[in-house]
Amino acid sequence: MTAVDNIPTAEEPIGSERMEARRTRSVAIAIPVMTAAALIALWQIGVKLFDVPTYIAPAPSDIAYTLVDKFPILLMNFWPTFYESVLGFFVGNIAAILIAVAFVHSRMVERAFFPIAVFINTIPILAIAPILVLIFGPGLTAKVVIAALICFFPTLVNMVRGLQAVSPQALELARILSASKAEIFWKIRLPSSLPFLFSALKIAATTCVIGAIVGEWVGADVGLGALIIDATFNFNSPLLYATVFMSSGLSVVLFATVSTIERLVVRW
């Protein structure tokens, strides 16, 4: 009787299988790309065919032209929004994580502060933004705070759940090993909360951009939000659409970054 019963099998001749997998993957990418291309083509044809005025709905070609032509202006307004979003992302999420740890550590703290956190979350961000601009002034700080605020609640709720999502048996194992509270936190609770944390961070990666833009609407002369307001009031629809495209591009970049980090960290 041998003890070893599961030696990983050596490389089998699976060349065809791997090619099959690669083909499946390229089809999975091609289908949405082609669908999007077809919809854009339809839009282009529709606008030209029905002679829709540019200020109502610009053709994709007009937007593409503006995107290239006004790229320096777009980029100049992209960076402030980028900094506000990323700073807000870090501030909001770090605050949420620390408060979640405090909540899990002490039920008293949770009872005291969770209702307040819920209340703040129920205030529409558009209503609270002017207040924050009044408090922090028209500079960077107000936008960072608004972006942080919008990230805060989903991360808080998910992180609390994640820290509590430890199996009772894992805690019994910790007890049998006479683990300290700190050891349970660092070796069991924190790692097991990571999948929950990353779910929240992926939400935050897109909402922090919304927060920054809303902040810029209320009061700013640079940033994608300011540019959106500016282009709207000037009926410069191609610039408006190009700005919207840049904003959504920023969200996509942040989301992709968080997703990549998640794949590297959460391997289980």
Q: Is 9 in the site for another protein (CB under 8 A)?
A: no
Q: Is 181 in the site for another protein (CB under 8 A)?
A: no
Q: Is 1 in the site for another protein (CB under 8 A)?
A: yes
Q: Considering the complex, what minimum distance in angstroms separates the CB of residue 11 from another protein?
A: 15
- Between 61 and 164, whose beta carbon lies closer to another protein? 164
Q: CA 254 to CA 210: how far, in whole Å? A: 12
Which range of residues in 65-73, 81-89, 176-184, 240-248 is near another protein by CB under 8 A? Answer: 176-184
Residues contacting residue 76 through CB under 8 Å, at least 6 positions apart? 222
The DSSP line for 88-122 is HHHHHHHHHHHHHHHHHH-HHHHHHHHHHHHHHHH
Q: Which residue has the tokens 């005291």?
A: 112
Q: Is 13 in the site for another protein (CB under 8 A)?
A: no
Q: Is 11 in the site for another protein (CB under 8 A)?
A: no
Among 26, 35, 106, 167, binds another protein (CB under 8 A): 167
Q: Considering the complex, what minimum distance in angstroms separates the CB of residue 155 from another protein?
A: 20
Q: Is 31 in the site for another protein (CB under 8 A)?
A: no
Contacts 24+ apart (CB under 8 A), 115-123: 117/152, 117/153, 117/156, 118/153, 120/149, 120/152, 120/153, 121/152, 121/153
Structure tokens at 142: 């107000």
Size of the site for another protein (CB under 8 A): 29
Q: Is 50 in the site for another protein (CB under 8 A)?
A: no
Pick the closest to residue 104 from 167, 54, 159 (CA basis). Answer: 159
Which range of residues in 79-87, 95-103, 186-194, 208-216 is near another protein by CB under 8 A? Answer: 186-194
Q: Is 7 in the site for another protein (CB under 8 A)?
A: yes
Q: Provide the sign of the torsion angle of the four alpha carbons 169, 174, 178, 182, taken in this order.
A: negative
Q: Which residues of 137-150 are buried (b: 16+ CB within 10 A; e: fewer)?
A: eeebbbbbbbbbbb
* Helix, strand, coil in percent for the chain, rounding step 5: 80, 0, 20
Q: Is 172 in the site for another protein (CB under 8 A)?
A: yes
Q: Is 109 in the site for another protein (CB under 8 A)?
A: no
- Between 132 and 184, whose beta carbon lies closer to another protein? 184
The residues that touch another protein, with contacts defined as CB under 8 A, are: 1-8, 167, 169-170, 172-180, 183, 187-188, 191-192, 194, 266-268
